[in-house]
Amino acid sequence: MFALQMILWLLMVAALAWLTWQKVIRRKVTLPDPPQDNYGNLRRPTIEVSVSFGLAALVLVLFFVGNVCIWRSFGQVPAGSRGVVLQFGAVTGEAKPEGLYVVTPFVNSVELMDVQVHKHATKAGAASKDLQNVATEIALNYRIAPEQAPQVYRSLRRDYETRIIDPSVQEAVKSITARYDAVELVTERATVRGAIEEVLRGRLGKHGILLDQLSITDFALDADFAKAIENKMVAAQNVLTAENELRTVKVEAEKRVAQADGEAKAIRIQVEAINMQGGQNYIALKSIEKWDGSVPTYMGGNAPIPFLQVK
């Protein structure tokens, strides 16, 4: 489009230069005799008409009209958009793709519709299955279906967030939240998110809006109910802790019993081995083998002499 405008400008400059170079052609135009008055005869006026200036004016008019026609005939659809073609203001159903387009001037026009992915965040209040008030924050990524851009423009223009998306989110959250208890909304968050996304995808798809992804950014319960849930979870955690401690005590006790049983078996085996080796005589022999030969310096009157049996 810019190139065509430059061509028109060059043509106009060339025409004006040619007219300036040519010899100016003038002619005289004689008007009819005017009526005489009391002051005598009047001179016949003459008007000099320049043909070259008339041609220059014609060139300027043609240039202006051509420039306007080119301006209204060509356009460009940027990346991430579609051009909705209108005919005298009515939607034709045609959508121009990205790039340069040509339309009939003064008859057709093009309105741009953004088909890129956009993020929209909204809040929704609802009641759970056990009649607890739940405030939910939803963030979703959506985009206009490129092939349905004319229909979206005809029915919604560009006001689809407030007219379609927000009411659809409210309805989807209310219908799904009512299926779960307040505690289940927290513990089964992924399931709840999937159910809301499925409902919302169907509702938006009817209007040419594609849902790419939905996220639940927050579940807010009543303060008293949230405190009760917290206390319940703390109590359950304490029970688990006590059960773990009891299991630990049982394991330690079983460990000590097993250790004592093993030591008793070891002692019994040692006693049986000693008896097999001669009993007390075997013990005395082992004691002498370990004796260093020294005897106590001081002894009581009834104290026995080591390794000596006096009868």
pLDDT digits (tens, 9 = 90+) for 51-107: 455 566 666 666 666 666 777 788 899 999 999 999 999 999 999 999 999 898 888
Helix then strand then coil, in percent of the chain rounded to 5, is: 50, 25, 25
Residue 47 has pLDDT above 70, yes or no: no
pLDDT digits (tens, 9 = 90+) for 218-271: 888 877 776 777 777 777 888 888 888 888 888 888 888 888 888 778 767 766
Count of all residues that appear for the chain in the document: 311
Residue 305 has pLDDT above 60, yes or no: no
pTM of the model: 0.58
Pairing of strands 118-127, 108-114: unpaired
Structure tokens, 283 = 């013990």
Question: Hey, what amino acid is at 300?
Answer: G
More confidently predicted of 229 and 307: 229
Measured CA to CA, the distance from residue 306 to residue 303 in angstroms comes to 9
Residue 137 has pLDDT above 70, yes or no: yes
pLDDT-derived band at 186, boundaries 50, 70, 90: confident
DSSP 21: H
CATH classification number, 118-221, choose in 3.40.50.1220, 3.40.50.300, 3.40.50.10210, 3.30.479.30 = 3.30.479.30
Beta-carbon count within 10 A of 172 CB: 24
